[in-house]
Structure 1
Amino acid sequence: MQPYELSLAAAADAIRERRLSPVELADSVLQRIAQMQPRLQAYVTISAERARRAAREAEREIVAGRHRGPLHGIPMGLKDLIDVAGTPTTASSQVRAGHLARTDSTVATRLAQAGAVLLGKTHTHEFAYGLTTPQTHNAWDTDRIAGGSSGGSAVAVAAGMATFALGTDTGGSIRVPSALNGVVGLKPTYGLIPRHGVTSLSWSLDHVGPITRTVEDAALVLTALTGHDPQDAASLDFASLDAASPTTPAADYRPTADPDLTGLRVGVPRNYYFDHTDPEVEDSVRQAINRLQALGARLVEVEIPMTRYIQATQWALMVPEATAYHEGTLRTVPELYQADVRTLLEAGELMPAGDYLRAQRSRTLMRQEWTRLLRQVDVIAAPTIPATAVKAGQETITWADGTVEGVSDAYVRLSSPANITGIPSLSIPVGQDTAGLPIGMQLLGRPLGERVLLRIGHAYEQTLEAMISL
């Protein structure tokens, strides 16, 4: 196995035990980038010399006995919405040509403090306003979409071009590309990871989170990123929470090795999540749910509330908030936007304030209903996406009953409830279809329930490792 193929946890152990140097790891990943970038186009910018300098510095610190933790010396990519001082934040858009960030975002600061090595900035669908990231190619089949909007981050991790990466998620933009590329994606509880210094799409729906190869890796990155930030008005103030409460954020999210899930209740939706879903996707997800049952979990059928309002609520919140953010440049340089994004931004100018207010009311009611639902179960298990990666340029999906659905509408449909309600959602790979394309299952939990999601996801992964070793 080459260093670029290692999981974050495995690489961290090897670095700590002096079996691998950060320089060797960075060189291996950079060589992989040089090999794969022309085919996959995961990165907007690659900072090879900066990465090598950081790797050498990490090596010096570790040799001197100043090991900072599991991210020290680990190469990573950042979605090009995330500010790093002195580097461009282009949002994959001509609107941002010539832009340089003046300061680090909070997450970039925390990763630097943890000793992570920045490789470069990864592509996003322009300003994160889409589910395909058209300039980037799927890691499993270059003729297919990467998913979005964090397509570059997911492809980089899947192809060995980063040991981990950060993405953002407004309606599924971490989980959708993670599922389409066979990696792990975590959208945390709203406000758990600060967003200061991260270009906004929709302030009340935006989240930052990790994309990794394993659930354990996601836990390691999450641990480094959490903590209150007064620069983000939505950032959770953990000091005000009861330390004994089960919803108090964990200091260390790394799951235990015990795969026993006895006592946990897993909700299996009887509506919505398996409607208009490809049969191969449904079959893989239901098999994965059965594995959770074999590990001791109790399956409970649940009814997803207010499903007829989900799509309308998502769009009525996102569209006017996005348009408000882009108001100035939309009026001065509209021609610099890609056609699909410009159309959505202009549509936001036509939306009545009453529609936005009704969407806020719908969100409040939806949160209340999901709170009641999650009293019945500990997590809900469902498909992340209803279909695997479509061919580049394909605009619609036709379901068995003849219903035609836009590709972006299909991909966002199952992921957006977690954004509207703010609950955490973890996407993990659970198989492949007959074309060999990855399938993802998402676990949705209670607010600040990341530790439970990670425990279940890790237990599932261990069942796969056990099967492979037989």
Structure 2
Amino acid sequence: MSRDLTTSDAATLQAVLLEGGTTSVELTQAYLDRIAAEDAELGSYLHVDPEAALGRATAIDEAGTAGTGLAGIPVALKDVVVTQGVPTTSGSRILEGWEPPYDGTVAARLKAADTVLLGKTNMDEFAMGSSTENSAYRVTRNPWDPERIPGGSSGGSSAAVAAGLAPWAIGTDTGGSIRQPAALTGLVGHKPTYGSVSRYGLIAFSSSLDQAGPMARTVLDAALLHEAIGGHDPLDSTSIDAPVPVLAESARRGAGGDLSGLRVGIVRELGGEGHTDGYEEGVLARVAEAVALLEGMGAEVREVSCPAFDLALPAYYLIAPSEASSNLSRFDGVRYGLRVGDDGDRDLDEVMALTREQGFGAEVKRRIILGTYALSSGYYEAYYGQAQKVRTLISRDFTAGFDQVDVLVSPTTPTVAFPLGSRVDDPVAMYAADLCTLPASLAGVPAISVPCGLSDGLPVGFQIMAPALADDRCYQVAAALEAAQDAARGSRFLDQLPRRDAQPAGGVA
């Protein structure tokens, strides 16, 4: 029974709870059992507290609210979301063992919705990476092939949901860190409009880009989770004072399969005609098939050119490290976290230097150095200033594109999941994994990744981008595509995932 529960989508679990077919305690125990059995190999979690999870599930059952909204449904949180009394490390040794004294808004809203926190998921340190190999604690593996990466930086969340170790999870997306791992593990992952989900209590990487969002088994699940965490927050100065769009209803409407009148633009610069270098043939073939399905549901398809998108990769890797070099200056061994060399013989500067040298990993150091250089006197305008100008051009290309079409589409990633270790020593190749996701991040527009088939037995993601605050449009189109594909194959996408024998319990801190 527990295996059936842990392979169900969250909307189904909601109905089962409401009908009394299970309890929150039984459901939570089923996930905890599977985590104990399988996560030693997978490495998706950094912290799990079974006692706290079961205690919360018991309280929800006793209150009789399980199945009402999100009540009683377990959830996993990326370890970048500050959570009161729960170790929150952002995947870094410099925050090892830190237990925050408050909840970030995302955590607070999920707690208010009576979800059950299963644990904190693994991630690239400070969200800097595309493979979850940069975690200071453990490598996470892809459930489709344990010798391949699950994407990053939200790879712990993606692996947990794909493998049935959580029904859904929260990730964060700075340059694609929700959409890229979702694509590589066969999930739905949505990056909301920048400012529509509070950043209060997210450990910052790049403040003008970071955004929390849902990772789920289905489009409807992602919409339900997004509705729970979205909306204005006065604690976040970048929060948009606007109501959350009706996302779940948009997903249900899209599942009806009628896209008559919808205008779809294939982005030429993201794997469109003449721009296929670096894209695997299998990825382009699956994306073409998805576009054909949209046409079959009444959508009008055309190609749209967005020339500045070709500059998104270098612009991002100047802007994001520059903001990171500023944000990470707070980790100095003085106020909280790791403190090294404080033996009474060293001055404060030495202690700070030793703490940062031992507390930060190689990729974090690389980006701090790059960002500090880009912001330095004499280089600011030549690098950071130029990158911000490119960002403006990318936003203008989106505006021009949405004057012609309702949504823009592309592959989510140029390739399927690559082998563990294959790009660790090649940062440029690693950064290229975000090629398709960066433009939407730089412009702050919403974008969703939805599975669109397999290439060489591994998932391929289809990206749908919409104008700012039109997140509902992403969900509608994604749900239509999902329904058409499920009908064609006769099953849900994740039902194709090869199931492994349960591993011995252990491996969870």
Q: TM-score range by the shorter chain?
A: over 0.9
What residue is the counterpart of 2:481 in the other structure? 460
1:280-429 matched pairs, under 5 angstroms: 280-329=282-331, 331-332=352-353, 333=355, 334-351=357-374, 352-354=379-381, 355-395=383-423, 406-429=428-451
Q: Distance in 1 between matches of 2:247 and 2:416?
A: 35
- In 2, the alpha carbon distance for the partners of 1:218 and 1:98 equals 30
> 1:415-469 deviations in whole A, cap 9, x for unaligned?
10010000111001111112x1111111011111111111111111111222234
Question: Higher mean Cα deviation, 453-462 or 327-336?
Answer: 327-336
Q: Would you say 1:190 and 2:186 are equivalent positions?
A: no
Q: Which residue of 2 aligns with 1:118?
A: 117
Q: 1:13 touches 1:70 (CA, 8 Å); kept in 2?
A: no
- Asked whether 1:442 is paired with 2:490, we answer no
Structure 2 CA distance for aligned equivalents of residues 228 and 353 of structure 1: 33
Q: Distance in 2 between matches of 1:124 and 1:388?
A: 19
The CA deviation string for residues 251-299 of structure 1, in whole angstroms up to 9 with x for no partner, is: 7555224211111011112333342210000000110111011111111
Q: Is the 8 A contact 2:261 2:300 kept in 1?
A: yes
Q: Structure 1: how far apart are the matches of 2:10 and 2:389?
A: 41
Q: 1:229 aligns with which of 233, 237, 262?
A: 233
8 A contact 2:87–2:100 mirrored in 1: yes
Give the distance between the partners of 2:489 and 2:310, measured in 1 at CA.
Answer: 41
> Does structure 2 retain, via aligned residues, the 8 Å contact 1:128–1:150?
yes
How far residue 378 of structure 1 moved from its aligned partner, in angstroms, is 0.8
Aligned pair count reads 452
Letter in 2 for 1:394: S
Query: What is aligned with 1:250?
Result: 246
| Distance (whole Å) between structure 2 residues aligned to residue 36 and residue 61 of structure 1 | 32
Query: Which segment drifts farther, 87-96 or 361-370?
Result: 361-370
Rounded Cα–Cα distance in structure 2 between residues aligned with 1:381 and 1:252: 21
Structure 2 portions without partners, runs of 5+: 134-138, 333-351, 492-509
Question: Quick one: higher RCO (CA 8 Å, sep 6+), 1 or 2?
Answer: 2
- CA shift, 1:362, in A, is 2.2
Structure 2 CA distance for aligned equivalents of residues 303 and 393 of structure 1: 35
Q: Is the 8 A contact 1:106 1:194 kept in 2?
A: yes
Which sections of structure 1, spanning at least 5 residues, go unmatched? 240-247, 398-403
The whole-number CA distance in structure 2 between the counterparts of 1:112 and 1:343 is 36
Find out whether 1:264 has 2:262 as its counterpart.
yes
| Contact 1:305/1:370 (<8 A) preserved | no
Paired residues for 1:85-96 under 5 Å: 85-96=84-95
Whichever residue aligns with residue 74 of structure 1, its letter is: I
Letter of the 1:380 partner, please give it.
L
TM-score (normalised: structure 2): 0.85
* Worse-matched range after superposition: 354-363 or 207-216: 354-363
TM superposition outliers: structure 1 runs of 4+ over 6 Å: none
Q: Report sequence identity in percent.
A: 37
Code of the aligned partner of 2:363: D
1:278 to 2:301 alignment: no
Aligned partners of 1:267 and 1:56: how far apart in 2? 49
- Tell me if the contact between 2:247 and 2:475 (Cα under 8 Å) persists in the aligned partners: no
Q: How far apart are the structure 2 equivalents of 1:48 and 1:254? A: 35
Structure 2 contact 171–213 (Cα < 8 Å) conserved? yes
Aligned residue number for residue 154 of structure 1: 158
CA contact 1:222–1:253 (8 Å) conserved in 2? no
Instruction: Tell me, in whole angstroms, the C-alpha distance in 2 between the residues paired with 1:238 and 1:295.
Output: 31
Candidates 204, 211, 223, aligned match of 1:200: 204
Please tell me whether the aligned partners of residues 401 and 408 of structure 2 are also in contact (alpha carbons under 8 angstroms). no
- The whole-number CA distance in structure 2 between the counterparts of 1:280 and 1:78 is 32
Residues 171 and 412, structure 1, Cα contact 8 Å, conserved in 2 = yes
Q: Distance in 1 between matches of 2:366 and 2:97?
A: 24
Q: CA deviation at 1:100?
A: 1.1
SS at match of 1:389: coil
User: Within 2, Cα distance between the matches of 1:364 and 1:44?
Assistant: 38
Alignment of 1:140 onto 2:129: no
* Matched AA of 2:266: V
